[in-house]
Structure 1
Amino acid sequence: MTFFSKLLLVIYFSIFFSAGTFAASDLSTESFSQLPDVSNLVLSPSGKKLASTVRVSVGDTQGVAVQVMDLATKKNKMVLFTDNSKFFFKWIGWKDDTTLMVSTFTPAERDTWVGMGSVRFKTRDHDLMLIDTESEKITQPITSKFLKRYKITPSVRDWVVDSLYDDPEHILMAFPGADAGFMSGLMVYKINIKTQRATTYHSSKTNAGNWMTDQQHRVRVGTQIEDDQVSILVYDLDSKKWQSLWTYKIFSEDQVDPLGFGKDPNEFYIRAYHQSRQAIFKVNLKDPTLKRELMVADANYDVQGSLVYSPVTGEVIGVSASAEGGTHFFDKGMQSLQAKIDKAIPEHRNYIYSITNDLNMFLVFSSNATNSGTFYLGTMNPLRLDAVAYSYKKLLPEFMSNTQRIEYTARDGLKIEAYLTIPKGKPAKNLPTLMFPHGGPHARDSGVFDYWAQFFANKGYAVLQMNFRGSDGQGIDHRNAGMKNWGKEMQDDVEDGARKLIADGIADPNAIGIVGGSYGGYAALMGVVKTPDFYRCAISVNGVSNVYDLVKDRRAFWLSYNAIDEQIGNDNATLKAISPVNFADKIKAPVLLVHGTDDRQVEIKHSYQMRDALQKAKKDVTFVELPSEDHFLLNEKNRIDTFRAMDAFLNKCLPIKTDKPVAVN
């Protein structure tokens, strides 16, 4: 038997977390709207423990827990739980073999008297929890006394600059240097996680932050912002002075993103533009010309991801992610491993990560449009890959709908990349269709598993997700084409996708809906404003309705430059003209509004205002308010309620012509 056949046998039959047995008929609205069963898997440095976040549903206890598995005994224990109402998990990671770091966030507010006036704003508090996985004791690295130095309590309290993996008692964290409490002029503290004592490790610089250390744990890089100019500051070891090595204007092609140091303290990696696409370069800091050595580039997409290090040599061996593939390795041995895994699990994006200190164990996250995500535990010697967890154990690939990449031409000639999901078992002909623009708008869809799109397809709709102008990932020209373009060509790109599907006979021209969250929610509302006779219905989840308010609320009036003015605009008349809330009288289609009360990305007032405007205009509007919910639908009850509301709404305004519905409550 070949290695690959053995590997496939292991993949299909060696499961730590049972996937269960389900049939297509078992899929319901709840199946698609439950939280992931397992996420955030990470190995301890020795490979003895496996941490993850897991969905908990036992009676009235609903939420997410941090779980730690002893890989020798296969015993699990839950070390931290949240019901996703008071706080939410953000990320988890190991400091060492015993201590697990867990980042959380909580919707919060500030109402503080400073000097002659009060400061009031809504924010999210980000905190770091430290869990001793042996004793299960939970602590925080800083004390309430430490925070009393600030007149306005800092919101970000989980910024780990360096975990100091070789120092069991300390970590480096960033906090504001002044008592203002804002994320400006950050300094680095060395914090004893046993005693919570904090000492200054690196002093602050005006308007500088994003501090990075080299592999010798010296603070060597920072980012300084002055108006629309960004400078990358680098500390020179010989002159012992800070130098501004790269300076660029925000949103320009001169942008440089620092990524990290190699083993050599003068070997530095950056992300910068190469032929209008972001690529990864290596730079020798001793070279006065700062010549860039191209390491990874893609002719079609920006290269994203972070550096991957060898835990043995400290050398940079790869980049964690690319737009259309898995991990990109520089190391030949890891390239060989990646190739073998890609061959054993074809037509998937396979990301190798969490490599143990002895290089013998690693994790792989594998997914595609129909696979919500399978986590594999791998070993080098012997070469083996075991499936240990599924993201959504009910949403088995064989029951999901296929997604294909397509391309269409917008009315002004711009090529638009999109992803089309066709309901499983149905011909791509005259289908009721949902346009599903992504949020951001500086984000992108890439054809990976999307539980929203799969839910809609399971109901019987064709779903189109398009990377309209302004989307990330396809180069600077495509991204910058969205500047000050809300409600204009960006909106036309969405409609032109629908018209392409109609022309191809895929979409029923009398059964087109539009749905989205955040910016996508804005696009849904603006769609039924601009073309009231085109869309049959619109769904906006945590969506923007008042662009004037959005810009006004996010604009810092004491600054001479605000990035949001360049992104969206600063002309009040134009901002009001692209705000759906001002044109409720034009809307003919039914509208569903869903919004979280604690949304810190787009305040719930946007949906309140839209609801009131539609009701005043005597339009068909349904409003669902989600209690104690932020922007991301992380509370399971709220997520299920959202999908039930969408299910009922679509059944009413865009019903599927079938005797037997596929998704049921």
Structure 2
Amino acid sequence: MRVRLCRVTILLLATAASPAAPPLEAYGRLPGVEHLALSPSGERVATIAVMGERRRLIVATTRGKLLQSVDAGNFKTRDVWWAGDDHVLAATSSTYKAPLQLVLGQAEMWNVFSLSVRTGHLIAVFDKNRTLSPAVFAAYGSAVVDGRSFGYFGGLTLTTTVAGEFILDTRSDFIVPDLYQVDLESGKAERIARGSPSHRGWVMGEGGRIVAHAEYIREASLWRLYAGEDRERLLLELPAAVEVPQLAGRGRTADTVLVYDPRSTGDAIVEVDIRSGARQDILPEAGDRRSFRSPDSGLLLGFDTDDADYPAVFLPELRARLKATARAFPRLRTCVTSFSRSFDRLVAFTDGGDDSGTWWLVDIPAGTADPIGYAYPKIRSKDVGATRMFHYTATDGLALDGVLTLPPGSKEQKLPVVMLPHGGPIGVSDSIGFDWWAQAYASAGYAVFQPNFRGSGGRDHRFREAGYGEWGGRMLTDIADGLAALAAAGIVDPRRACIVGGSYGGYAALAGVTVQHGLYRCAIAVAGVTDLSAFVGWKQRGLGSKSAGIRFLREAIGAEDESAMARISPGRQAARADAPVLLIHGIDDTVVPIAQSEAMADALGRAGKPHEFIRMKGEDHWLSRDETRTAMLEASVAFLRRHNPAD
């Protein structure tokens, strides 16, 4: 397969690479091109791209002709996909404080926009419907009915006051979305099924028909799968006290649906026949595997299992094309994100090695692969730090690994190091590829290690379950064991180590200098949990004390009473901090409230411990904006240089 330059590359190139070494801003900027999707015909692409200094929703032909360009503004774009060849859907999110005044005070809500490629008309789903809130609670696919294109979404139906105003009904403890059919051209919405407090999603079939739905009975801890939209035919009933099964869309045929069952041995994906209720495990170790689906029907075609032979892809012709694409990019991580209905054209994203992220249009009949967009165009090959998996053993003998990133051009010898544990923590993992956060620190002269401690994803269910109850225990010692193993190998200097992380990683960073001691010269926590009891209480007020989410959180933490939680809460152990601390938190965080960092700052201040606290206006839990991502990097690198100089 030949690699060449395509005309559409010029359109989606964003900005040209600079000859100078990239500043931190080059890493902190959102990708120059992201969410690139190929239409079912294979003749068009849609993406979010930076043109000049503006982010735009771009639609173009694969030959490079611009069809539509719409200003994306400051929306936090989460995904882009096609509904047929004539409509592009873009999911965004925003932090709502009103009118959706919820139990927790604010929430991150999704919106979906539909762009007509033919007319350029852009509509926001539910925007023109006074009886609906503007938020979209799920997308259930699309269908052509009587020649018109429709999308299917979960939406909140508003109630009417005596004064004739439409408001959200907050009398219930639950937000209950209904299922709506939305005309993707006009925006007209029609309710086709009512939700209930127990509803957990629908599966749509051809012609906009509801083929199945799921419910979760909290009081009984039971998950149920029903055929159709009513409760006449129960197909499956599963106990689910902690980890709750999920509907995962259509199966391989029109009469099957998929269920992700995290309770089973191996996190199985189960295919259920909606006519007979027969079950078949089709992917025994599902984890977070992506599915491949027909671009027209949404039927399942297989799974991406990180095996270059694609053994879990069911169609031989698709499997052959995926394998050919992977062979075109040896030494790189390759992810096929979309393909045409004929499988002759595919869009692939590569990164890792010396690639900071490239989008490719693969043409199988022509035997060509054309780069059509770059995620980080200002970061050249020579600026990318080398990465590899580093394997080590925990003190209790458990085999572990993590991603090691080196400063560009450096040798693996006595380097200063940043330990960068991931968030989650259960079921999340780090793997080889371009990580903007790790690469930014590597560019500043630090080795970066991202440990996959017990409980992480990417392994079997036994490894994940080993993390339950170990938030403040062996997860932390797994991170420290990684530092010790790197030092024993002569790669890093253990006396020149700091720990940085976000979410659970922020908790681990703070615990590394309060619950643990003598390991790190500084700690940086981005949106970290600091007081476990207060955090669980906050979550409980929003989810309910009997919810599966709260049971899962308590199981993951493991501490059963107030005193046990206090012993592993950095905020309660602030007086024992043995290194300077930097706290960074988005004001709009709806996952870990900023009150967690505020309480930590207060506790450190009362104890006379050196610390800094940065509040990021307009930022959420995921560092979704250019300005705040860059500000976080600049502040954290400056803090690292003061307390753990790289030179």
TM-score, reference length from structure 1: 0.86
Match of residue 521 from structure 2: 536
Asked whether the equivalents of residues 291 and 300 of structure 2 are also in contact (C-alpha less than 8 Å), the reply is no
Residues in 1 aligned to 2:64 and 2:479: alpha-carbon distance in whole angstroms: 52
Deviates more, 1:556-565 or 1:27-36: 556-565
- The code of the aligned residue for 2:201 comes to N
- State the SS of the aligned residue for 2:321: helix
Please show how residues 534-573 of structure 1 align to structure 2 within 5 Å. 534-556=519-541, 559-561=545-547, 562-563=550-551, 564-568=553-557, 569=559, 571-573=561-563
Cα gap change, 1:257 to 1:360, in 2 (>3 Å): same
The answer to whether the 8 Å contact 1:210/1:222 transfers is yes
- For the structure 1 residues 282 and 456, does the alpha-carbon distance in structure 2 shift closer, same or farther, using more than 3 Å as the test? same
Q: Is the 8 A contact 1:278 1:303 kept in 2?
A: no
- Secondary structure of the residue aligned to 2:106 is strand
Deviation at 1:286, TM superposition (A): 4.6
2:90 corresponds in structure 1 to 102
Read off the aligned partner of 1:471 and give its amino acid letter.
S
Measure how far apart 1:438 and its partner are: 0.2
Corresponding residue for residue 469 of structure 1:
454
The correspondence for 2:364, drawn from 380, 383, 393, is: 380
8 Å CA contact 1:279–1:303 kept in 2: the answer is no
Aligned to 1:199: 190
Paired residue secondary structure (1:642) = helix
- Note if contact 1:297-1:303 (Cα within 8 Å) is conserved in structure 2: no
Aligned to 2:418: 434
Once the two structures are TM-superposed, the CA of residue 335 in structure 1 deviates from its matched residue by 1.7
Please show how residues 349-428 of structure 1 align to structure 2 within 5 Å: 349-428=333-412
Q: Please list the CA deviations of residues 117-176 of structure 1 after superposition, one character each: whole Å capped at 9, or x if unmatched.
A: x9562112222222223433322232565446xxxx5x8425222311455243222235
SS at match of 1:623: strand
Q: Aligned equivalents of 1:424 and 1:367: distance in 2?
A: 16
1:637 to 602, 622, 627: 627
What's the secondary structure of 1:258's corresponding residue? strand
Match of 2:165 in 1: none
Structure 1's 326 and 224: CA in aligned 2 closer, same or farther, altered over 3 A? farther
In 2 relative to 1, CA 485–177 (structure 1 residues): closer, same or farther, beyond 3 Å? farther
- Indicate the RMSD between aligned Cα atoms, in angstroms: 3.2
2:188, 2:33 → 1: CA distance?
35
Q: Is the aligned partner of 1:171 residue 2:157?
A: no
Quick check: 2:126–2:135 contact (8 Å CA) kept in 1? no
User: Equivalents in 2 of 1:422, 1:112: separation in Å?
Assistant: 45
Shift of 1:78: 2.6
Is this contact kept in 1: 2:251–2:271, CA < 8 A?
A: no
- Aligned mates of 1:15, 1:231 — CA distance in 2: 50
Aligned to 2:236: 245
Aligned pair 1:161/2:140, yes or no? yes
Counterpart mapping for 1:4-15 below 5 A: 4=1, 7-9=2-4
Give me the whole-angstrom Cα distance separating, in 2, the residues matched to 1:459 and 1:12. Answer: 35
CA contact (8 A) 2:14 2:50 kept: no
Aligned to 1:660: none
Helix, strand or coil: the match of 1:456?
A: helix
Taking structure 1 as reference, are residues 532 and 293 closer, same or farther at Cα in structure 2, changes over 3 Å only?
Answer: closer
What is the aligned partner in structure 1 of residue 166 from structure 2? none
Distance 1:103 1:19, change over 3 A: closer
Contact 1:37 1:390 in 2 (8 A): yes
Where does residue 661 of structure 1 map in the other structure?
none
Correspondence list, 1:286-365, <5 A: 286-287=275-276, 290-294=278-282, 296=283, 302=287, 304-309=289-294, 311=296, 316-319=300-303, 321-323=304-306, 328-365=312-349
- Could you tell me how far apart the structure 2 residues matched to 1:633 and 1:481 are? 29
**How far does residue 65 in structure 1 lie from its aligned partner after superposition?**
2.2
Alignment partner, residue 163 of structure 2: none
Deviates more, 1:203-212 or 1:591-600: 203-212
CA contact (8 A) 1:79 1:133 kept: no
**Contact 1:599–1:629 (CA<8 Å) still a contact in 2?**
yes
Partner of 2:36: 41
Aligned partner of 1:91 among 64, 79, 98: 79
- Structure 1 pair 192/338, CA: closer, same or farther in 2 (3 Å)? closer
Deviations 1:371-413 (A, max 9, x none): 2321111223333321101111122333312211122222222
- 1:414/1:54 CA distance change after superposition, 3 Å: same
| Structure 2 residue matching 1:637: 3-state secondary structure | helix
Q: Which amino acid aligns with 1:592?
A: L
2:212 is aligned with what amino acid?
V
What is aligned with 1:209?
Answer: 200
Residue 275 and residue 260 in structure 1: after superposition, are their counterparts in 2 closer, same or farther (change >3 A)?
closer
In the superposition, relative to structure 1, how do residues 277 and 402 fare at CA in structure 2: closer, same or farther (>3 Å)? farther
Alignment length (residue pairs): 627
Please state if 1:445 is matched with 2:430: yes
In structure 1, C-alpha distance between the alignment counterparts of 2:117 and 2:568, rounded to whole Å: 52
CA distance in 2 between partners of 1:31 and 1:133 (Å): 32
Is the 2:504–2:529 contact (alpha carbons within 8 Å) kept by the matching residues of 1? yes
Q: 1:368 to 1:463 in 2, by over 3 A?
A: same
Give SS of 2:355's match.
Answer: coil
Q: Residues 629-660 of structure 1, C-alpha deviation per residue, up to 9 Å, x if partnerless?
A: 11122221211111111121111111012xxx
Which SS does the other structure have where 1:329 is aligned?
Answer: coil
By how many angstroms is 1:366 displaced? Answer: 2.0
Instruction: Say if 2:611 is the partner of 1:598.
Output: no
* 2:57–2:70 CA contact under 8 A, matched in 1: yes
Question: 2:225 matched to which residue of 1?
Answer: 233
Structure 1 residues 604 and 251: CA distance shift in structure 2, 3 A: same
Distance in structure 2 (CA, Å) of the matches to 1:473 and 1:174: 31
Shifted more, 581-590 versus 370-379: the winner is 370-379
Deviation of residue 212 (structure 1)?
A: 0.9
- Specify whether residues 371 and 50 from structure 1 end up closer, same or farther in structure 2 by C-alpha distance, changes over 3 A only: same
The whole-number CA distance in structure 2 between the counterparts of 1:639 and 1:41 is: 22
Aligned-pair distance for 1:266?
Answer: 2.6
Q: Tell me, yes or no, if the aligned pair for 2:224 and 2:235 is still in contact at 8 Å.
A: yes
- Overall identity of the aligned pairs, in %: 26
Q: Which amino acid aligns with 1:161?
A: Y
Paired with 1:73 and 1:11, the residues of 2 have a C-alpha distance of 8
Instruction: Identify the residue that residue 50 of structure 2 maps to in structure 1.
Output: 55
Seen in structure 2, the aligned counterparts of structure 1 residues 221 and 517 have a Cα distance that, compared at 3 Å, is: same
Distance 2:21 2:544 in 1: 56
Q: How far apart, CA to CA, are the structure 1 residues paired with 2:453 and 2:232?
A: 44
CA distance change for structure 1 residues 15 and 250 in 2, over 3 Å: closer, same or farther? Answer: farther
Gapped regions of structure 1 (runs ≥ 5): 658-665
**Is the CA contact 2:21–2:383 (under 8 Å) kept in the aligned structure 1?**
no
SS in 1 for 2:432: coil
1:9 offset after TM fit, Å?
4.5
User: Partner amino acid for 1:93?
Assistant: W
Deviation at 1:470, TM superposition (A): 2.2
Distance in 1 (alpha carbons) for counterparts of 2:582 and 2:97: 28
Is the alpha carbon distance of 1:277 and 1:574 closer, same or farther for their aligned partners in structure 2, counting shifts above 3 Å? same
Q: Give the 3 Å change call, closer, same or farther, for CA 14–206 of structure 1 in structure 2.
A: closer
Contact 1:12/1:387 (8 A) holds in 2:
no
Q: How far apart are 1:306 and its partner, in Å?
A: 2.4
Deviation at 1:421, TM superposition (A): 1.6
TM-score normalised by structure 2 residue count: 0.88
Q: Please give the secondary structure, in 2, of the residue aligned with 1:224.
A: strand
Q: Call closer, same or farther: CA 1:158–1:91 in 2, change over 3 Å.
A: farther
Q: CA offset at residue 422 of structure 1?
A: 2.3
Structure 1: which amino acid aligns with 2:349? Answer: F
Q: Is the 8 A contact 1:377 1:387 kept in 2?
A: yes
Query: Which deviates more, 69-78 or 420-429?
Result: 69-78
Give the CA deviation at 1:577. Answer: 2.3
Partner of 2:481: 496
**Residue of structure 1 in register with 2:442 after alignment:** 457
For structure 2, the residue ranges without an aligned partner over 5 or more in a row are 160-168
**Aligned partner of 1:225: which letter?**
Y
The structure-2 alpha-carbon separation of the partners of 1:94 and 1:23, relative to structure 1 and needing over 3 Å to count, comes to closer
**CA displacement at 1:197 relative to structure 2:** 3.9
